[in-house]
Structure 1
Amino acid sequence: MRPSNPEGRKASRWSRLDVNGSPYFFVAPFFLLFAVFGLFPLGYTAWVSLRDWDLTGDEGFVGTANYSRLLGDPDFWNALVNTLGMFVLATVPQLALALIIAGLLNRPLRGLMLFRLGVLAPIVTSVAAVAIVFGQLFGRDTGLVNGLLGLVGVTPIDWQAGVGSSWIAVATMVNWRWMGYNALIYLAAIQAIPKDLYEAASIDGAGQISQFWRITVPLIRPALIFTALMATIGGMQLFTEPLLFGQGDISGGSLRQFQTIAMYMFEQSFTNFDYGYGSAIALAIFVITLIAGGLNAVIARRFKGGTQ
């Protein structure tokens, strides 16, 4: 019989443990941090949403009363409509223009690096500075936008007073800030496409536009899905741009015409000090974001299946 080798078996066990267990060890810090700073605040918010909690303290358990109040609150539904409206106006043009910019930046241009760095400028610019500049651009009496519209006979628009006009102004701020970021993501995905595909398409007689829609867009689909999902999450949590556009007015205008659900949650929690109701609104934002993200995933899956 071959003599047993306990040291060899021990080394083998350590080797298997290293191979099978080390990946969990390396990813454990993320999940620990996520549990502390993600799951715990979410669970605590859900617990507070079931209680009558105001500035004086916890007044006791009220069950689903805050959620029943939420369903019948016209200000919440107004904020939700505002959020969805600004989300559509900001996301669709933002991603479409980012895709076009990425396609142009992928072409041989003089001073190409300067243009690529230029699209990063909005990302590194302070949001407060962006809001100040755009507040001046969309000023009613001396704004540049109204001045340009006046050249074609359009009367001055009070951008903050109307629902649609305020949505457009806020969406323009969001578009300008994040368009370059998405363009760089698309550019990185485009540059990973093999050049042989474009050369074969050129030999077959396909033009630049045809190559873009038949080769580029299908092959960067993962990047398109990622940016659409991130834009959805950001759009559902829109807060800073409309707040600064209204010069810090948390109600989003005299008629709440550009108040988002994130602003409404902040108003109820830290202006009216109704923490229970504010927590219910926060949970509603979380659920709405999950639904919107799920719809994105379903649409992306159907799109993928239809283009195979």
Structure 2
Amino acid sequence: MSTAAPARSREPLTPADPTAKRKKKIREVLPLYLAISPFYLLFAVFGLFPILFSIVLSFMDWDGMGEMSFVGLAQYKFLLTDGRFWNSVGNTFIIWFLSTIPMLFFAMAIAFLLHQNIRFTKFYRVAFFLPNVTSMVAMAIVFGSVFSDTFGLVNSALTAVGLDAVPWLSSPWGIKITIAVMVIWRFTGYNAIIYLAGLQSIPTDLYDAAKVDGANLWQVFFRVTVPMMRPIILFTVITSTIGGLSLFTEPQVLLGDSGGAGEAGMTIVLYQYNQAFTQFDFGYGSAIAWALFLIAAIFAIINWRLVSGRGDDTVRRAVRTKEARG
């Protein structure tokens, strides 16, 4: 006759100690935070601290060596009446207008061509993106030789066909056009690759549905492709605007700290550099930096309002047609 094993006494279950659970969780995640801490330490020292310190400097008068003296809003008041600053603002906006609109148009055209079934697509992608990773200092020197007033290749080509030479680097508009061409050359391929990624993400069913509705090629492009590309276009417009308002390397290397003849190439950042690191007026340089931040923020908001929006009716009809036929 078998005997049943004695029943084990069960201890009542008690909830785990919250303190112990918290300590265990800290031990689990601490190595992860330590692994990424170098980035945050470097950002705090070389990114966050300079930003906060520049705010303080904009209310100070300081040459970088002596004691700081608090001047309140004097730097910003002088900024509003500084003719050289407003000249740099005008130069920056003109260069931005001359470069951004053609650049984005060429980028969209290149992306559309690369989106077709053509040979050597990968080679063309690398070729168009290469200028973006090329040293801008080296290319500014090359452009200085190409657009030189006396022995430049562009003027040599113009005189060879019987046209007059253009003072590219000694006239106000010649300087602005030269800088704009440099910007177009550098960033067209970069934006084209971004547009290409956006084109490849558009479902082909939308194009089929639009064609069924009788849309021609132009209607398909402007009422299907462009609305579907609105987020990509918005991104490129905002980044191009911020980059255009922050031009420094191109005019500084091409023309020097003076900005060329009549300061025609004096951009906002170049003027800020001159005030802070040539005139050693760090307070006024910080005020210019924050004025640039405000201008860039305003233009980013304007671009957001102009470019963003709901899709076109053709897209919605195409979607409905697709669903109906599905």
Q: Among residues 265, 269, 282, which one is paired with 1:275 in the alignment? A: 282
The question of 1:197 aligning with 2:206 is answered: yes
Uncovered stretches (5+) of structure 1, i.e. residues with no partner = none
- SS for the counterpart of 1:243 is helix
Q: Deviations over 1:5-44 (max 9, x none)?
A: 414x96xx87xx89xx99xx79x96777655544432221
The question of 1:221 aligning with 2:230 is answered: yes
- CA separation in 2, counterparts of 1:55 and 1:198? 61
Aligned-pair Cα RMSD in Å? 3.0
Return the letter of the residue paired with 1:86. Answer: I
Return the letter of the residue paired with 2:194. Answer: I
Return the letter of the residue paired with 2:260. Answer: G
The question of 1:236 aligning with 2:239 is answered: no
Q: 1:258: how far off? A: 0.7
Q: Among residues 70, 73, 81, which one is paired with 1:64 in the alignment? A: 73
Q: 1:200: how far off? A: 3.0
Q: Report the TM-score, using the length of structure 2 for normalisation.
A: 0.81
Q: 1:267: how far off? A: 0.6
Return the letter of the residue paired with 2:278. Answer: T
User: Quick check: 2:233–2:307 contact (8 Å CA) kept in 1?
Assistant: no
Q: Among residues 57, 69, 85, which one is paired with 2:94 in the alignment? A: 85
Change (3 A) 1:151 1:217: farther
The number of aligned residues is 298
- Once the two structures are superposed, the pairs formed by residues 264-303 of structure 1 within 5 Å of their partners are 264-301=271-308
Return the letter of the residue paired with 2:179. Answer: V
- CA separation in 2, counterparts of 1:113 and 1:82? 37
Q: 1:66: how far off? A: 1.3
- Once the two structures are superposed, the pairs formed by residues 1-308 of structure 1 within 5 Å of their partners are 4-7=13-16, 36-151=45-160, 153-246=162-255, 249-301=256-308, 304-305=309-310, 307=312
Q: In the alignment, which residue of structure 1 is the partner of 2:321?
A: none
Return the letter of the residue paired with 1:298. Answer: R
Return the letter of the residue paired with 2:237. Answer: A
Change (3 A) 1:61 1:43: same
Q: 1:60: how far off? A: 1.2
- Out of 56-65 and 263-272, give the one that drifted further: 56-65
- CA separation in 1, counterparts of 2:288 and 2:184? 26
Q: 1:59: how far off? A: 4.3
- CA separation in 2, counterparts of 1:194 and 1:59? 60
- SS for the counterpart of 2:266 is coil
Return the letter of the residue paired with 2:261. Answer: S
- CA separation in 1, counterparts of 2:44 and 2:244? 25
- CA separation in 1, counterparts of 2:137 and 2:289? 24
Change (3 A) 1:153 1:204: farther
Q: Deviations over 1:129-148 (max 9, x none)?
A: 21122112211122222233
Of all paired residues, the percent bearing the same amino acid is 44
Q: Report the TM-score, using the length of structure 1 for normalisation.
A: 0.86
- Out of 94-103 and 207-216, give the one that drifted further: 207-216
- CA separation in 1, counterparts of 2:311 and 2:117? 33
- CA separation in 2, counterparts of 1:158 and 1:103? 36
